[in-house]
Amino acid sequence: MPSIRPGSGARPPTIADVAEAASVSRTTVSHALNDIGKVDPRTRARIKRVAAELGYRPNLRAQRLRRGQAKAIALASSMPFAVAGGPSRLGFYMEVAAAAAERALVHDYALVLIPPVQSGSALYSVDIDGAIVVEPDEDDAAVAQLRGRGLPYVTLGRPAPGDDAPYVDLHGGRVAEVLLDHLREQGARHPALLVGAGARHSAVDARAAYLRAAEEHGWTPAVATAPEEGGEQAGYDACAALLDAHPEVDALCALVDAFAVGAIRAVRDRGRRVPEDIMLVTRYDGLRARTCEPPLTAVDLQLERAAGEAVELLLSRLIAGGDDAAATGPQPPCEPRVIARASSLRVPPGG
């Protein structure tokens, strides 16, 4: 059992203590520490030095009441637990959260993690100034609740059609292109696509990229969709039906990692091998991809950089008072990079 050591009982220093030690009024201390008002720069610096020496910490609750700000932003998504949970919870969402929290803290903001928003009042019960919504779907529950509260938000990944919120693009189409190029380089002649059934742009853009590639290379299109809430089992069912309808398929791009894991089981249950008979790739290079058997080829999405850009974009909206014209969606500039693993690397003849 953990032990608890009681405090020493010493009273923490107050703003009055700082004022007395610096020989100024409490109002001057408040203005100096909050960088407001007309305070001589030398006096401001001296007050801050005295406050640091005394170990003074501002009363955050009082600041909240005075400024009308929570100094907190939320990270929210409507991705269901079947996809966002399990190993993925330690992957995509937490990778974004860690990077966003670090960048927010630089600006003296806290990051609040919201469980997957399906319905109810998840975003009505937290005190926040705005939010980052991760890959919103059409009629997204998180977006609806933020709009209901009148809170500014930005999206990580393009917003749903008709939503003009500022965003940081995760380049769903380009990611699909590099995965399909990889499969073709490995010898695929009849690749198929498996995506979520919703309208998240990662799926919409991937489907468009796949159809362009099919036309360019003369593939017969084979596209399957699965409900996100079905998780691995939905991926299994969709892949099984796809292989029954298109036995010629020799490669599968399953964008959702949970679907990809289910698809591997479906391939094996039909007496086929990965990657010898069917190569398989997915989008996110997370724990699911790395611990799958065989490990899944995936893409470095540069989530740390993208999450940091999303925080900066949201804070620029907050500073601008929610004016969309003052914030535009920056684009992570680096090319998506394929992390090739056993699921798509075929053994050379005689190897």
Token readout for 110 is: 């806290």
Band (pLDDT 50/70/90 cuts) for residue 61 is low
Among 124, 161, 164, which residue's Cα sits nearest to residue 146?
124
What local confidence, expressed as pLDDT, does residue 87 receive?
57
Q: How far is CA 279 from CA 83, 171, 245, 274, in A?
A: 22, 23, 17, 6
Band (pLDDT 50/70/90 cuts) for residue 129 is very high
Token readout for 196 is: 């979520």
Spatial distance between the Cα atoms of 313 and 209, rounded to a whole number of angstroms: 27
Spatial distance between the Cα atoms of 144 and 160, rounded to a whole number of angstroms: 12
Q: What are phi and psi of 226, to 5 degrees?
A: -145, 145
Place of tokens 């953990």: 2
Which position has the higher pLDDT, 58 or 326?
Answer: 58
**Does 4 score more than 50 pLDDT?**
no
What local confidence, expressed as pLDDT, does residue 216 receive?
96
Query: Helix, strand, or coil here: 153?
Result: strand
What local confidence, expressed as pLDDT, does residue 351 receive?
44
Query: Helix, strand, or coil here: 272?
Result: coil
The number of beta carbons lying within 10 Å of the beta carbon of residue 9 is: 5
For the ranges 4-13, 83-92, 217-226, the lowest mean pLDDT is seen at 4-13
Band (pLDDT 50/70/90 cuts) for residue 3 is very low
**Does 6 score more than 70 pLDDT?**
no
Band (pLDDT 50/70/90 cuts) for residue 232 is very high
The number of beta carbons lying within 10 Å of the beta carbon of residue 53 is: 11
- Determine if the peptide bond prior to 349 is cis (ω within 30°): no
What local confidence, expressed as pLDDT, does residue 343 receive?
94
What local confidence, expressed as pLDDT, does residue 7 receive?
41
Token readout for 231 is: 């998780």
Mean pLDDT for 95-112 is 93
DSSP per-residue codes, 286-312: SHHHHHSSSPPEEEE--HHHHHHHHHH
What local confidence, expressed as pLDDT, does residue 124 receive?
80
What local confidence, expressed as pLDDT, does residue 297 receive?
97
Mean pLDDT estimate for the chain: 86
Mean pLDDT for 37-47 is 88
Q: What is the pTM of this model?
A: 0.78
What local confidence, expressed as pLDDT, does residue 94 receive?
85
- Determine if the peptide bond prior to 294 is cis (ω within 30°): yes
User: Helices 41-54 and 26-33 meet at what angle, rounded to 10?
Assistant: 90
**Does 206 score more than 60 pLDDT?**
yes
Residues 189/220, Cβ–Cβ less than 8 Å: no
Which position has the higher pLDDT, 108 or 154?
Answer: 154
What local confidence, expressed as pLDDT, does residue 36 receive?
72
Q: Regarding beta strands 223-226 and 191-196, do their DSSP bridges make them parallel or antiparallel, or are they unpaired?
A: parallel
Over residues 312-333, the pLDDT tens digits come to 999 998 887 655 544 444 454 5
Strand order in the sheet with 223-226: 223-226, 191-196, 251-254, 279-284, 297-300, 337-339
Residues 37/56, Cβ–Cβ less than 8 Å: no
Instruction: Give percent above pLDDT 90 in the chain.
Output: 59
What letter does residue 142 receive in the DSSP assignment? H
For the ranges 8-22, 190-204, 210-224, 297-311, the lowest mean pLDDT is seen at 8-22
Residues 84/295, Cβ–Cβ less than 8 Å: no
What local confidence, expressed as pLDDT, does residue 152 receive?
94
What local confidence, expressed as pLDDT, does residue 322 receive?
53
